[in-house]
Amino acid sequence: MAHPEAEDRKPQSDEARSAFTQPIGVVSQAPAAEDESQTTSEFAIPDGLAAPPAATQEPEGSAFSTPDTYSVRHSIPTFTPPSGIPMVRLTKEAPWQDRMRTMLRMPVAERPAPEPVQKHDDESGPAVPRVLDLTLRIGELLLAGGEGAEDVEAAMFAVCRSYGLDRCEPTVTFTQLSITHQPSLVDDPVTASRIVRRRGTDYTRLAAVFRLVDDISDPDTEISLEEAYRRLAEIRRNRHPYPGWALTAAGGLLAGAASILVGGGFIVFVAAAVGAMLGDRLAWLCAGRGLPEFYQFVVAAMPPAAMGIALTLAHVPVAASAVVTGGLFALLPGRALVAGVQDGLTGYYITASARLLEVLYLFVGIVTGVLVVLYFGVKFGAKLNPDVALLTVERPVWQIAASMLLSLAFAVLLQQERSTVLLVTLNGGVAWVVYGALHYAGGLSPVASTAVAAGLVGLFGQLLSRYRFASALPYVTAAIGPLLPGSATYFGLLAIAQNNVDKGMVSLTKAAALAMAIAIGVNLGSEISRLFLRVPGATAEGRRAAKRTRGF
């Protein structure tokens, strides 16, 4: 008889060793009948497992969990303000210069989406390279005409947005223009550039370019790319409004009027006019020979100084210093100085440095030409007295008339439109009246008087330009002519020629201070005019300014 334990040790059958048989000691449970239509999820919890407790908070160390040390009261300021980012609404009634300048001073991500002004039959719009080329050609004419870097960028930005190109970034330096367009975050950017190799003063052409940009930005005016190219070609082909002999005569009138301002008479007027016209013709001759502009200024400064030395050697009882001072007025680079300081005040430091360096070179050319003549004049025994600069000559009626004549001649030299000549002449007379009232009657310093007068010139010029939707340069540059530091420059050079370097440097420093007062006053007047006028995008925080640095 077999033992029961021996039976348990007998080998099991194949069925007993099956992987699907339940192990010994496990009680089988009949599965619940399931409905065939019941759907089961692979994420369902299996039978026999309890559901995990609900997690009220993610464990410490998770990237999404709030640290234990977090406190709302001591939290850092958020990037987005609690009130949200104010929406910029561009009022179409405002000039395009203000609208584009507002967007240029904004980050790219905050700029409103463009509303294409110029419609096209093709839904895809114009070719991007053609729009960029047109933009660069317009910017080239503006920069070559002496326009400020910020205004050039505003015009380029207006053209691109009018033809539907968003994400455009124009860049302006002294001699180079570039613009970049990126269609989207995944497309390659398109960049084009252009070099400005020649610069010439023609405010008539400058005004025509501004009218073209204004028409392109106008939603009620339809201008295709072909029409814009045609008008731009006409602007380039247009001749100057004044012939060469008129420019030479205007230079003579400018020098004669400037000599009246510093106390000259009829003989001084004629001598200064003749010297300035001779210098202008010699400069044109040098330009035709291909000499750089520096040497042109050296040659142009010699005839007025020679006329003053000749009158002194001939013992003519006139103020020879007024002759030389009048000739210097026609050569001082007031336009480039104002543009350079304006670029610096608006944050375009590279362009401002290049413009001011150009002014320095031209001024050194004038100094060289005058010093050469004065040196030989002193060697020949010419009795030149720099102390006459301390004498004050007050002739209000003659000086006001001379200041207006000077502004008129300056406007002709700048090739301005005939419709703007009268306005800029009146603006120049106002500048001298304010300067004379503050300096002669009020006893204010020349630098402060010049700054206030230049500020009024900039204010009136900006208002006139906004009224006509044009550039402010034609209404400002010629009007500051009576304020240019011609006499301080001459007496500084005379003192240096007589080996009185300390006194000469003091006088030249005064001339530099007067020049800076003119430039800063003009820019401040323009900014003041914008403060009291409606500007698009203005919020409770005020008008946005160009932020480059805070000094640290």
d(CA 516, CA 448): 11
Give the confidence band of 106 by pLDDT, cuts at 50, 70, 90: low
d(CA 373, CA 382): 11
Residues 393 and 410 in one domain: yes
Please say if the pLDDT value at position 331 is more than 80: yes
d(CA 194, CA 85): 37
Q: List, in sequence order, the alpha helices (H) in 238-292.
A: 244-261, 266-288
Q: Is residue 144 part of a domain?
A: yes
Residues 279 and 143 in one domain: no
d(CA 275, CA 303): 5
Question: Mean pLDDT score of the chain, rounded to an integer?
Answer: 76
Residues 328 and 437 in one domain: yes
Among 237, 265, 287, the domain boundary falls at 237
What are the DSSP calls for 109-124, one per residue?
A: GGSPPP--SS--SSTT
Give the whole-number percent of the chain exceeding pLDDT 70: 70
- Answer with the residue of higher pLDDT: 23 or 183: 183
Residues 421 and 452 in one domain: yes
Q: Is residue 261 part of a domain?
A: yes
Among 174, 202, 237, the domain boundary falls at 237
Among 199, 215, 237, the domain boundary falls at 237
Residues 286 and 152 in one domain: no
pLDDT of residue 187: 76
Q: Which tokens go with 496?
A: 């240096």
Residues 254 and 206 in one domain: no
Q: Which tokens go with 6?
A: 């021996």
Residues 250 and 394 in one domain: yes
Residues 218 and 263 in one domain: no
* pLDDT tens, residue by residue, 126-169: 688 888 999 999 999 988 888 888 889 888 988 888 888 877 88
Pair 486, 332: CB distance under 8 Å:
yes
Q: Is residue 49 part of a domain?
A: no
Region class of 503: left (phi > 0), else alpha (psi between -120 and 50), else beta: alpha
Q: Is residue 249 part of a domain?
A: yes
Output the CA angle 325-331-335, nearest 5 degrees: 120
pTM: 0.71
Q: What is the tally of structural domains in the chain?
A: 2
Query: Which residues, 6 or more positions from 265, have their beta carbon under 8 angstroms from its beta carbon?
Result: 318
Residues 327 and 355 in one domain: yes
Residues 119 and 162 in one domain: yes
Q: Which residues span the domain enclosing 117? A: 96-237
Residues 256 and 388 in one domain: yes
d(CA 474, CA 407): 11
Give the confidence band of 311 by pLDDT, cuts at 50, 70, 90: confident
Residues 340 and 405 in one domain: yes
